[in-house]
Amino acid sequence: DGGITQSPKYLFRKEGQNVTLSCEQNLNHDAMYWYRQDPGQGLRLIYYSQIVNDFQKGDIAEGYSVSREKKESFPLTVTSAQKNPTAFYLCASSISGQGISNYGYTFGSGTRLTVV
Amino acid sequence: DQQVKQNSPSLSVQEGRISILNCDYTNSMFDYFLWYKKYPAEGPTFLISISSIKDKNEDGRFTVFLNKSAKHLSLHIVPSQPGDSAVYFCAAAGAPGANNLFFGTGTRLTVIP
């Protein structure tokens, strides 16, 4: 079955450590996105990528980094520079960054990151 | 600056009654609107959408209404069922230069049996 897989589901990080969240899709979608969800704040865009080897910052990119070496994969690294990383992280994809009006997003099941 | 707003963080409705979830937006260039449903610890799933050329779209128990002049849309669920209890996000697309969805803050719907 086609879909988006995020791993791990739960992740604990010590302060000062970098961690990488995985996102893989087999939907043959061109565009991929990372969102962060905090209580009462909805979904905020961190980074997005419309094609391989290209990505753009979203509204809250500081303290995060991404790569898009393969169409299927869009990993997110939460660096030690992110001051408040504890949150629920959602990866999404769409057929095309230009055509989201027609199809919207398909979301993964999310990763809950907790800093301990 | 929040371009899509859901001003009611929560809503409780009796089973069998109508649930009405509201959403307002500020960018008149948005041309497509979507509703997503989210259960705890899961990703949102697409529920229903509407293009700006329409004012109503219906899919089973779910109907979305769009009032472009008021920059307002609403999701009606009739009849409401306990399984509808979830957080509902409104999203908008089509802003020039933006190839992503803009989400509201969500409304938690609780359907009481």
Stretches where chain A sits below pLDDT 50 are none
Mutate to test the interface with B, among A4, A23, A100, A111 (most CBs of B within 10 A): A100
What are the tens digits of pLDDT across the range B65-106?
999 999 999 999 999 999 999 999 999 987 766 668 889 999
Q: Quick check: B93 contacting A, CB < 8 Å?
A: yes
- Residue B94, classed as helix, strand or coil, is coil
Give the number of other CB atoms < 10 A from CB of residue A38. 14
Q: Quick check: B46 contacting A, CB < 8 Å?
A: yes
**Residue A97: its pLDDT value, please?**
59
**What's the Cα-to-Cα distance from A63 to each of A18, A60, B57, B96, B97, rounded to whole Å?**
10, 8, 40, 27, 24
